[in-house]
Amino acid sequence: MFFVGVAVLAFLYSLGALGGYLGYLHLYRCAGSRLPLADLAVSALLAVLWLVASSAWAQALRHVRAALGAPLPHCPSPTVGCAPVGVTPMGSLGASVAFGFLNLLLWASGSWFVYKETPLHRPAPPPDPAPSPM
């Protein structure tokens, strides 16, 4: 549930940020704007959330696979083979973990490009030269 929630939040923020960039770029790039810093904070937060959600989902998937591989508790004896019937393959679940970590990589690298737009990266403008006396 947390993994899907992070995915939905990231999608909605992506749509909102795209609308903001397209409609209000002049506000984003003006000199005293705090929008790039807020964008950096949200992007970094989403990268961390992708890390946490992907790690938690990978751990949960590992537990599910271990539980399905354990012997059934009501088997009559070890010589009789008991196996669960109708267990579906979990390859697509492993792919979802891989895509989660790929999203972490994308959001972290995207945060770098957002950082380059902030005043934290750009050097301060040089002071105006003093007018020379005539």
| pLDDT reported for residue 126 | 63
DSSP codes of every residue in the chain = -HHHHHHHHHHHHHHHHHHHHHH-HHHHSSTT--HHHHHHHHHHHHHHHHHHHHHHHHHHHHHHHHHHHSPPTT-S-TTS----SSPPP-HHHHHHHHHHHHHHHHHHHHHHHHHTTSTTTSPPPPPPPPPPP-
Report the predicted TM-score, pTM, of the whole model to 2 decimal places: 0.75
Q: Residue 108 falls within a domain, yes or no? A: yes
Dump pLDDT digits (tens) for 81-113.
676 666 667 778 889 999 999 999 999 999 999
Q: Residue 73 falls within a domain, yes or no? A: no
Q: Residue 50 falls within a domain, yes or no? A: yes
Q: What angle do CA 57, 62, 67 make, to 5 degrees?
A: 125
Residues 6+ positions from 8 with CB-CB distance below 8 Å: none
| pLDDT reported for residue 25 | 85
CB 6 within 8 Å of CB 53:
yes
Q: Residue 101 falls within a domain, yes or no? A: yes
Q: Residue 57 falls within a domain, yes or no? A: yes
Q: Residue 19 falls within a domain, yes or no? A: no
Domain, as residue range, for 53? 37-68+94-121
21 pLDDT tier (thresholds 50, 70, 90)? confident
Residues 6+ positions from 115 with CB-CB distance below 8 Å: 40, 121
Query: Has residue 124 got a pLDDT over 60?
Result: no
Q: Residue 58 falls within a domain, yes or no? A: yes
Dump pLDDT digits (tens) for 24-73.
888 887 877 788 889 999 999 999 999 999 999 999 999 888 877 766 66
Q: Residue 133 falls within a domain, yes or no? A: no
If one counts the domains in the chain, the total is 1
